Amino acid sequence: MIDDIVHFFEPYIYLIVGGVKAIIIAVALTAVVPGLVWLERRLMGRFQVRLGPNRVGPFGLGQPISDSIKLLFKESIIQSSADKFLFHLAPAIVVFTAILSFAVIPITQPFEIFGQTIGPWIANIDSGILFIFAISGMGIYGKVIAGLSSNSKYSLMGGLRSSAQMISYELTLGIAALSIIVMTGSLNLVDMVKSQEAVPFILVQPLAFLLFFIAGVAETNRAPFDLPEAEQELVAGFHTEYTGMKFAMFFMGEYINMVTMSSLVTLLFLGGWNTYILPQNALTGFLAFAFKVLFLLCFFIWLRSTFPRIRYDRLMTFGWKFLLPIAIFNLLLTSALKVL
């Protein structure tokens, strides 16, 4: 009986496994967002010598849940002058691209279950890192469209700034990643992690790591590069006119992008699922990966509470005249050493 069922489903097993993995990743990513909001608020409280949320549940753990319920039941307001279709489309694009780009990220080493080797990724494509860049490039449209369709000057300025900033820093991000690609000779993220079995690339390429991380903070629009949503100048930037759940979706997108960026830094520079001295198997590999990502996420929050927001023209000068030349120099040096 069971054999019959197994036999019937055998040709479709890769579809089923892929679908299950996709659902797990999508659910886990959306579930991680409230936790991350809680972590950020608690940590920010500590950094600023105050308590942070502590009323709802133990350690304020119920706060993000009650916040989500509030946002879900809030009235959704659309001003009459907005383009309705695009106004609804924008937050969907932001969340969709944020979740999609996680599809190629391997969270631990491949393992066996019921005699089937399962790769802990949704898709292991040859040019995985380019896929992430391509999809995060699509994410810009969510912000641009939000700015355009709101029909408000603050939103328009926020959208304009956001797209300009993301285009500028994407270059540095790509070129910093290129030096790692030159070293591994592959665009595949799994190969990249495998080539770090002996030593993580942060020790070999410290400059590339620094450039990639700075550009990554700018790319996710986090402080001190959160110009698109500078509260003092733009009210809230591209999502000024959004309310309720649609507003929350922009935040979901931002936090998921943070997780993806931290995962990418982990894979490229911190050795991904490699545990180094500790015993290496699928479980410890996942724990090592999760620990590194969590550390980077805390680093993001630490940066936010340490640095003031920089001025817009300085942000652009910094990106184009400082980071980009260094990144190109680093790439040239790496390529020269590789050839020699």
Partner 1 sequence: MELLIFYPIGTLCVFLALGVVLNKSPIGSAMCLIGMMLGLAAVFAIQHAHFIAILQVIIYAGAIMVLFMFVIMLLNLKGDDTVWKTREGNTLLTGLGAVLVVGILYKMTEITGGGEFDSPTPIQETFGTTVKVGTTLFTDFVLPFEVASILLLAAMIGAVVLAKSKMDD
Measured CA to CA, the distance from residue 147 to residue 159 in angstroms comes to: 5
Tell me how many residues contact partner 1 (CB under 8 A).
26
Residue 83 contacts partner 1 per CB under 8 A: yes
- Which residue number, 159 or 272, has a Cβ lying nearer to partner 1? 159
Per-residue string for binding with partner 1, 168-207, x by CB under 8 A?
-------------------x--------------------
**Member of 120, 159, 271, 319 binding partner 1 (CB under 8 A):** 159
**Where would I find the beta strands (DSSP E) of the chain?**
111-113, 116-118
106-129: burial string, b at 16+ Cβ within 10 Å, e else: bbbbeeeeeeeeebbbbebeeebb
Least CB distance from residue 303 to partner 1, whole Å? 26
Residue 149 found at the interface with partner 1 (CB under 8 A): yes
Q: Considering beta carbons, is residue 149 or 266 the nearer one to partner 1?
A: 149
Q: Is 91 among the residues that bind partner 1 (CB under 8 A)?
A: no
316 binds partner 1 (CB under 8 A): no
Instruction: Choose which of 24, 65, 134, 199 interacts with partner 1 (CB under 8 A).
Output: 134
The token pair that represents 41 in the structure block:
């608020």
Q: How far is CA 56 from the centre of its chain?
A: 28
CB of 131 to partner 1, least distance (A): 6
By beta-carbon proximity to partner 1, the closer residue of 125 and 282 is 125
Report the site for partner 1 in 242-271 (rule: CB under 8 A).
none
The residues, ordered by sequence, that sit 6+ positions from 72 with a Cβ below 8 Å of its Cβ are 244, 245
The CA-atom distances, in angstroms, between 111 and each of 22, 118, 189, 243 are 17, 5, 17, 43
Burial 270-295 (b: 16+ CB within 10 A, else e): bbbbbbeeeeeebeebbebbeebbee
User: Cβ closer to partner 1: 242 or 300?
Assistant: 242
The residue among 110 and 137 lying less far from partner 1, judged by its C-beta, is: 137
Q: How far is the CB of 165 from partner 1 (least distance, A)?
A: 12
Q: Is 82 in the site for partner 1 (CB under 8 A)?
A: no
Main-chain dihedrals φ then ψ at residue 61, nearest 5 degrees: -65, -25
CB 187 to partner 1: min, Å: 6
Q: Three-class SS of residue 112?
A: strand
Least Cα distance to 40 among 288, 265, 251 occurs for 251
SS3 121: coil
On the question of a cis peptide bond just before residue 53, with omega within 30 degrees of 0, the verdict is: no
> How far apart are CB 126 and partner 1 at their closest, in Å?
6
Q: Is 328 in the site for partner 1 (CB under 8 A)?
A: no
Least separation in angstroms between CB 224 and partner 1 = 24
Strand partners of residue 116: 113
Q: Which stretch binds partner 1 (CB under 8 A): 51-59, 69-77, 155-163, 198-206?
A: 155-163
Residue 138 touching partner 1 (CB under 8 A): yes
Stretch that binds partner 1, among 134-142, 265-273, 286-294, 332-340 (CB under 8 A): 134-142
Encode burial over 223-241: b for 16+ CB neighbours within 10 A, e otherwise.
bebbbbbbeeebbbbbbbb
d(CA 327, CA 272): 22
**Which of 127, 184, 243, 284 touches partner 1 by CB under 8 A?**
127
Radius of gyration of the chain (CA): 21
The residue ranges that bind partner 1 (CB under 8 A) are 83, 86, 125-127, 130-131, 133-135, 137-138, 140-141, 144-145, 147-149, 156, 159-160, 163-164, 167, 187
